[in-house]
A = this chain, B = another copy of it.
């Protein structure tokens, strides 16, 4: 059981930023990554569809003997976590709760900002979690739908991205926000742009770090850490072989990924992973 892999999934390539952090904090763990490149993005889709897609992915990951699952995608964490936790008996963690913990710890003004996809913001999950952690926190949220396409077009340092960032973010300055959750895996790549827009006084919270920390804590508490001396293996799967995966992986991961396999994810039907089939 302890040699089983950590299953990590995302709507596409963005979850590799979370994967990198898990590799850093848990270098002895085997990993299986799945990116839903055939159906990306999730951020503009409905809850029902995101749950169906996430369930198929969990069904697939379970065929890979995973001992725990990390939802690296904020949108899927926001909309499908509870459903997935009910469906399977192994631990499933998302990035939203760890992100909320980090932000609640970081804020002093008790004004926390959250940026994410339209679906994540609409779910109001960060508001709910932040208020559970501290009812005195005021949460200001903003959907930033153009950030992902801008990153994917490579406009990381660009006047257009700066212009769009000013429109999305300037209201956070009015609300005396001192911690901003980067609630989408692509956003940490825009860290410099966001800094230029908001200045140095706002702490930018990347849920990836806290997610890996939560995962480590969970595996330790349940005595699930990998103690095998066998060589660690990392596997990468996608639902479509697109041109973006390898360049993005090369930018994010500390080594080149040379083997990526394509999975027909639609075959992994809903309901087939129920706890008591």
Contact = CB atoms under 8 A, between A and B. Distances in A.
Interface of A: 37-40, 44-46, 48-49, 118, 145-146, 149-150, 152-153, 159-160, 163-164, 239-244, 266
11 contacts: A38-B39, A38-B45, A39-B39, A48-B240, A49-B239, A145-B149, A146-B149, A146-B153, A149-B149, A159-B163, A160-B164
Closest 10 CB pairs of A and B: A149-B149, A49-B240, A266-B266, A38-B49, A39-B39, A46-B240, A160-B160, A45-B240, A160-B163, A146-B153
A211 B112 CA distance: 51
A37 B239 CA distance: 17
A267 to B, nearest CB: 9
Contacts of A44: 40, 152, 242-244
Contacts of A153: 145-146
Nearest to A38: B49
Nearest to A239: B49
A118 B154 CA distance: 14
Contacts of A164: 160
Contacts of A243: 44, 118
A129 B146 CA distance: 34
Contacts of A45: 37-38, 240, 242
Nearest to A167: B160
Nearest to A40: B44
A163 B39 CA distance: 29
A257 to B, nearest CB: 18
A235 to B, nearest CB: 20
A36 to B, nearest CB: 10
A182 to B, nearest CB: 19
Given A145-B149, A160-B160, 6 more contacts: A37-B45, A38-B39, A46-B241, A46-B242, A48-B240, A159-B163
Given A46-B240, A49-B240, A152 B145 contact: yes
A37 B39 CA distance: 10
A10 to B, nearest CB: 15
Contacts of A38: 39, 45, 49
A40 B37 CA distance: 11
Nearest to A244: B44
Contacts of A150: 146
Contacts of A242: 44-46
Contacts of A146: 149-150, 153
A266 B268 CA distance: 11
A243 B160 CA distance: 26
A146 B44 CA distance: 16
